[in-house]
Amino acid sequence: MAIIRTQVGIVGAGPAGLMLAHLLHLQGIESVVLESHSRPYVESRVRAGVLEQGTVDMLRESGIGGRIEREGLQHHGVELRFGGEGHRIDFQDLVGKSITVYAQQEVVKDLIAARLRYDEPIFFEAEAMRVSDFESRPRIHYAQDGSENEIACDFLAGCDGFHGMCRPAVAAGQIKFYERQYPFAWLGILARVPPASDELIYTYHERGFSLMSMRSPEISRLYLQCAVDEDIANWPDERIWEELQMRMATHDGFALKDGPIFQKGITPMRSFVAEPMQFGKLFLLGDAAHIVPPTGAKGLNLAVADVRVITRGLVEFYKSGNREELERYTERCLRRVWRGQRFSWWMTSMLHRFPGEDGFSHHIHLAELGYVTSSRAASTSLAENYVGLPFDTPGLF
Ligand code: RFL
Ligand code: PHB
């Protein structure tokens, strides 16, 4: 059995684990990243698409922004569509910021490439089986190529997503969960067809929510609300296009063009927060600690915000032995996480049809959307949350 010593042991090579490893490297702090899947698998996993301006700035300032700048699609607003009409929320005019559409797996590719370029340890197909001693001298026990190995570290970063093993390793009495499940899911597709608009379109319709997003000038990313236990086999391509066309139709004849679908999947919707996010020397980051429904486009951005907070704490600790920032990790992260939760829950509630809704609820949805799109105060509130609230931790660079 091999034992590797490092300063920070990181479980998971998603956006949280990779970004943390990258920032630590820039600050001269050693880490080892373990990832249970293969490199091609994590580099092709289809997920998020919207990056807040603060997330893009952080990638750029840390030297990772080259490809985002060239290939990312900068958007200055979004459309909310309901009652057969579109209403634009102009981020630039309302809050002077924008968002960037750039696929999560591209961020993951950029961060893995950086890790390999500076020749720092990242092990794929290496599954953490157990974490131990995180109150004293943390250890990660992992399996790779049929053998069991160990990482001994000063700190342990649980960046292993919602279904990971770090959060369950905490004793039941030490952790509290807050949770909401939603009675619907999203069916998402990627299609080889130019996006029907230059900006995202979020649609509320009596048949349910839909969203038009994109990945490039040739590729559309679309979602539609479906039943929570939906079987993807019930959704042949023609039915998906027909449903999207009905939901997105406008009085002035908007036409959503169809095209070959090359990826399909169903995503459940959940709000979840674990508290605290630190247990001795074990820290939980990103989806391992909190999940939001994707309607607010916040999950990856919140993961990266956690990375920012913990990096400051670790830099402070290794520079001066001062643990103050590390001790405030949960408090600092959760303040932002709860704001992201509120915004994601609100967008989800406003834009989806809940089972059993009647005419009264329908008119409440329409009234709320009408208010949000006609009041400058309400539009500004949506815009400032969507583009990302300011960080309350001073910059890292
Ligand atoms: P990840 O990405 O789940 O990465 C965790 C990694 O840990 C690995 N792992 C292990 N490795 C070793 N040993 C073990 N025992 C392990 N157990 C797990 C896993 O293989 C994996 O590689 O978590 P992270 O880094 O916290 O990142 C979070 C984001 O992935 C997530 O919040 C976003 O994808 C959410 N999300 C969106 N976020 C946004 O900010 N903007 C969006 O537009 C947006 N759209 C979305 C989304 C998520 C979606 N789905 C599919 C859930 C749209 C969708 C449809
Ligand atoms: C995406 O492009 O995948 C996307 C965009 C906006 C969301 C969620 C996902 O709210």
Domains and CATH numbers, the chain: 3-49+103-175+276-353 (3.50.50.60), 179-269 (3.30.9.10)
pLDDT at residue number 271: 98
pLDDT over 70, % of the chain: 98
Consecutive H or E run containing 310 = helix 299-320
Residue 133 token pair: 């001693």
Contact status, residue 335 vs residue 322, Cβ threshold 8 Å: no
Give the active site residue among 102, 142, 182, 202. 202
> Which amino acid does the sequence have at 282?
L
Q: How far is the CA of 218 from the centre of ligand 2 (A)?
A: 17
The closest-lying atom of ligand 1 relative to the alpha carbon of residue 302 is 40
pLDDT at residue number 1: 81
Number of Cβ within 10 Å of residue 16's Cβ equals: 29
φ, ψ for residue 288, nearest 5 deg: -65, -25
Annotation says 298 is catalytic: yes
Contact status, residue 221 vs residue 265, Cβ threshold 8 Å: no
- Residue 260 C-alpha from the chain's centroid: 27
SS3 state at 322 = coil
From residue 224, alpha-carbon distances to 187, 205, 239 in Å are 5, 11, 11
DSSP string across 154-193: EEEEE---TT-STGGGS-GGG-EEEEEEEEEEEEEEEESS
SS3 state at 336 = helix
Annotation says 318 is catalytic: no
Q: Which residues line ligand 2 (CB under 6 A)?
A: 48-50, 200, 213, 221, 294-295, 297
Q: How far is the CA of 14 from the centre of ligand 1 (A)?
A: 6
Please identify which residue in the block is written with the tokens 């969507």: 386
Annotation says 202 is catalytic: yes
In the chain, the largest separation of any two C-alpha atoms, in whole Å, equals: 68
Q: How far is the CA of 367 from the centre of ligand 2 (A)?
A: 24
SS3 state at 95 = helix
In whole angstroms, give the CA distance from residue 315 to residue 325.
9
DSSP 323: -
Q: How far is the CA of 165 from the centre of ligand 1 (A)?
A: 14
Reading the chain (397 residues) residue by residue, the pLDDT tens digits are 889 999 999 999 999 999 999 999 999 999 999 999 999 999 999 898 999 999 999 999 999 999 999 999 999 999 999 999 999 999 999 999 999 999 999 999 999 999 999 999 999 999 999 999 999 999 999 999 999 999 999 999 999 999 999 999 999 999 999 999 999 999 999 999 999 999 999 999 999 999 999 999 999 999 999 999 999 999 999 999 999 999 999 999 998 999 999 999 999 999 999 999 999 999 999 999 999 999 999 999 999 999 999 999 999 999 999 999 999 999 999 999 999 999 999 999 999 999 999 999 999 999 999 999 999 999 999 999 999 999 865 555 4
**Whole-model pTM over 0.85:** yes
Q: Which ligand is nearest to the CA of 46?
A: 1
128 CB near ligand 1 (under 6 Å): yes
**Most ligand 1 atoms within 8 A of CB, residue of 44, 298, 300, 333 to mutate:** 300
pLDDT at residue number 48: 87
Consecutive H or E run containing 327 = helix 324-327
Annotation says 365 is catalytic: no
Q: Which of 226, 159, 170, 138 is nearest to 22 (CA)?
A: 159
In whole angstroms, give the CA distance from residue 334 to residue 70.
33
Beta strands per DSSP E along the chain: 3-11, 31-34, 50-51, 73-75, 77-82, 85-90, 99-101, 122-123, 126-132, 139-144, 147-158, 176-191, 201-203, 210-216, 219-226, 261-275, 278-279, 282-284, 290-291
Residue 368 token pair: 């709320």
- Residue 159 C-alpha from the chain's centroid: 12
Give the active site residue among 298, 318, 329, 352. 298
Q: What is the pLDDT of residues 150-198, one digit of tens each?
A: 999 999 999 999 999 999 999 999 999 999 999 999 999 999 999 999 9
For residue 276, whether the previous peptide bond is cis, meaning omega lies within 30 degrees of 0, is yes
From residue 223, alpha-carbon distances to 6, 59, 303 in Å are 42, 27, 22
290-320 burial code (b ≥16 CB/10 A, e <16): bbbbbbbbbbbbbbbbbbbbbbbbbbebbee
Beta bridge partners of 254: none
Angle at which helices 329-351 and 376-387 cross, to 10°:
130
Closest C-alpha to ligand 2, atom 6: 297
pLDDT at residue number 396: 53
pLDDT at residue number 391: 86
pLDDT at residue number 359: 96
Residue 42 token pair: 């994590």
- Residue 331 C-alpha from the chain's centroid: 20
47 CB near ligand 1 (under 6 Å): yes
Q: Which ligand is nearest to the CA of 272?
A: 1
Q: How far is the CA of 11 from the centre of ligand 1 (A)?
A: 13
Residue 215 contacts by C-beta under 8 Å, 6 or more apart in sequence? Answer: 49, 101, 103, 190, 221
